[in-house]
Chain A
Amino acid sequence: MTDTRTLHRDMSRNPLLVSAAWAAVGVPLLWGVIQTLYKAALLFR
């Protein structure tokens, strides 16, 4: 149990892991926002 916790601690501080976690949700969200903005632009044409 202690080993697992130590592993979690080390991993959780890894900038690559944190960046990957945020990218996994951020990239699809950004794609959705861009698609929506593109569609919304029709309103002002």
Chain B
Amino acid sequence: MAGVLERGRTVAPSTYNRWLIPPCALATHLCIGQAYALSVFNLPLTRQLGITKSVSADWTLVELGWIFSIAIAMLGLSAALFGTWVQAEGPRKSGVVAAVCWGSGFLLGALGIYLHQLWLVYLGYGFIGGIGLGIGYITPVSTLIAWFPDRRGMATGLAIMGFGGGALIASPLSDALMRHFASLTSTGVVQTWLVLGVVYLVFMLGGAFGYRVPPANWQPAGWSPPPTQLRRLITDKHVRAQEAIQTPQFWLLWVVLCFNVTAGIGVLGQASAMIQEVFRGRIGPSAAAGFVGLLSLFNMGGRFFWASLSDRIGRKATYGVFFTLGPVLYALVPWTGRMGSVALFVAAFAVILTMYGGGFATIPAYLADVFGTKYVSAVHGRLLTAWSAAGVLGPVLVNYIRQLQIDHGVPKYQAYNVTMYIMAGLLVVAFFSNLLLRPVHDRYAEESDSSTAPIAV
């Protein structure tokens, strides 16, 4: 059985239809993308004992917030720690491990909720599920890049779009399941987690067993790499992850990802409260929920749009657009609030969120351009620590500065203005970080030996 998972058993014939690979990647990412919809369980979990209302022994929102934080921290850590292993073992084995971790994380979490032991939920969903998140996130990256050397951005954008789309499915699905299982003695969360755990396990295993890697030296029919002088930042050398993290290029891209995510994540976490406070009396909780849903759609769409566009205009130019347009839009947000224009406010954030998603989706192709394709999963895994850092930095910046403003007597509807200017400033720093990026020096690249390369395109 274990042999079926070996990389060598997943090598496809040269005539294999590469369009079967993106659905496998989507199967993985649509499942782990559930993490963005975890908040749908927050309120039911605060009345797990009281059922209709919280009682003193029930969990608080602050305690529950740690489930997500642990999971996201584990995403970054496991992607960094297991990136090299994922690259070496291939997508099928890592896809199966991700599926088992993610599915069993739900099942253990359900047991924790049933026994009302929060540490079990932290261990299940947060720790074990978080490892599944990290491994699952990077699993399809190098495989897609190997199958689509002519459309690296589009291919990885498609998969990472799934991570954004996962929440769009999980949120209404969880809601429907909880309503179905709820009774006088149960909130329905335990049963919902059990169902989700099994469904995600089956779906992700289906994706994992569908993965194939292309044979050595495979290229799409009729395609050949463009000449080197036309693609200055695209290398045909390969830099190992250990060497990559010693290059300035890695840390410049780390800043690019971290600040782009910080700006977006800070807004996403506060979107509902923000629109209600800026347009008090005009936007209620239901409409605010609609705003959050709309942002999720643009976040998802931006992943595919910008990553695909980057195949045409280049990665550096794509991030150049993010960090030119982004600061302008962030700076305009307070003005749209003063004008009282909900439409302009929503439009500004919709575009901002496409660039937030686009930043995630375009980075694997950018890494493949700069460090080569052979070790891209391992390098990508290490770069995702920027996401973990941003996961802390973004919400802290937004929450802390908002509270500071309110403490100094600023009205609530204006409390986000300074935050928006700071986010714009972060994107300006990211602009220069992207601008400074140059090709990696040859001394970091491994000796070329294409005959032994597991992925040669």
| Chain A residues with CB under 8 A of B16 | 8-9, 12
- Does A40 lie within 8 Å of B290, measured CB to CB? yes
Does B218 touch A at the CB level, under 8 Å?
no
A43 to nearest B CB, angstroms? 4
Does B437 touch A at the CB level, under 8 Å?
no
- Considering the complex, give the chain A residue whose CB is closest to the CB of B296: A36
- Does B210 lie within 8 Å of A41, measured CB to CB? no
Does B185 touch A at the CB level, under 8 Å?
no
A18 to nearest B CB, angstroms? 6
- Does B212 lie within 8 Å of A8, measured CB to CB? yes
- Considering the complex, give the chain A residue whose CB is closest to the CB of B167: A32
Does B26 touch A at the CB level, under 8 Å?
yes
Q: Number of residues in A with C-beta < 8 Å to the partner?
A: 27
B282 to nearest A CB, angstroms? 11
Known: A13-B17, A36-B296. Is A25-B162 also a contact (CB below 8 A)? Answer: yes
Known: A12-B17, A43-B291. Is A32-B168 also a contact (CB below 8 A)? Answer: yes
Give A2 to B427 CA distance when docked, in angstroms: 53
Known: A31-B169, A32-B168, A35-B172. Is A43-B26 also a contact (CB below 8 A)? Answer: no
- Does A21 lie within 8 Å of B20, measured CB to CB? yes
Does B19 touch A at the CB level, under 8 Å?
yes
- Does B289 lie within 8 Å of A39, measured CB to CB? yes
Give A18 to B291 CA distance when docked, in angstroms: 35
Give chain B's interface secondary structure class. Answer: helix
- Considering the complex, give the chain B residue whose CB is closest to the CB of A36: B293
| Chain A residues with CB under 8 A of B170 | 32
Does B297 touch A at the CB level, under 8 Å?
yes
A32 to nearest B CB, angstroms? 3
Give A28 to B173 CA distance when docked, in angstroms: 10
Give A2 to B219 CA distance when docked, in angstroms: 21
* A window 16-40: CB within 8 A of B: 17-18, 21-22, 24-25, 28-29, 31-33, 35-37, 39-40
Instruction: Render B291-310 as a binary contact track against A, CB cut-off 8 A, 1 for contact.
Output: 10110110000000000000
| Chain B residues with CB under 8 A of A41 | 290
| Chain B residues with CB under 8 A of A28 | 30, 169
- Considering the complex, give the chain A residue whose CB is closest to the CB of B176: A35
| Chain B residues with CB under 8 A of A33 | 165, 168, 297
Does B213 touch A at the CB level, under 8 Å?
no
- Considering the complex, give the chain A residue whose CB is closest to the CB of B27: A25
Instruction: Render B158-190 as a binary contact track against A, CB cut-off 8 A, 1 for contact.
Output: 000010010011111100000000000000000
- Considering the complex, give the chain A residue whose CB is closest to the CB of B172: A35
- Does A45 lie within 8 Å of B20, measured CB to CB? no
- Does A29 lie within 8 Å of B17, measured CB to CB? no
| Chain B residues with CB under 8 A of A5 | 12-13
Does B346 touch A at the CB level, under 8 Å?
yes
- Does B23 lie within 8 Å of A22, measured CB to CB? yes
- Considering the complex, give the chain A residue whose CB is closest to the CB of B19: A18
Give A37 to B363 CA distance when docked, in angstroms: 28
> Contact partner of A43 among B27, B172, B294, CB < 8 A?
B294
| Chain B residues with CB under 8 A of A17 | 20
- Does A40 lie within 8 Å of B297, measured CB to CB? yes
Give A15 to B30 CA distance when docked, in angstroms: 23
- Does A39 lie within 8 Å of B290, measured CB to CB? yes
> Contact partner of A42 among B19, B210, B287, CB < 8 A?
B287
Query: Which 4 pairs across A and B sit closest by C-beta, in order of nearness?
Result: A32-B168, A32-B169, A43-B290, A12-B17
Ordered by A's residue number, 28 sampled pairs between the chains whose C-beta atoms are within 8 Å are A5-B12, A6-B13, A8-B12, A8-B16, A9-B13, A9-B15, A12-B16, A12-B20, A13-B17, A18-B20, A24-B23, A25-B27, A25-B30, A28-B169, A29-B30, A29-B162, A32-B168, A32-B171, A32-B172, A36-B296, A36-B297, A37-B297, A39-B290, A40-B294, A40-B297, A43-B290, A43-B291, A45-B287
Which B residues are closer than 8 A to A by beta carbons?
Answer: 12-13, 15-17, 19-20, 23-24, 26-27, 30, 162, 165, 168-173, 206, 210, 212, 283, 286-287, 289-291, 293-294, 296-297, 342, 346
- Given A21-B20, A29-B162, 20 new contacts (CB under 8 A): A8-B12, A9-B13, A17-B20, A18-B20, A24-B206, A25-B27, A25-B30, A32-B170, A32-B173, A35-B171, A35-B172, A36-B168, A36-B296, A39-B293, A40-B291, A42-B289, A43-B290, A43-B291, A43-B346, A45-B287
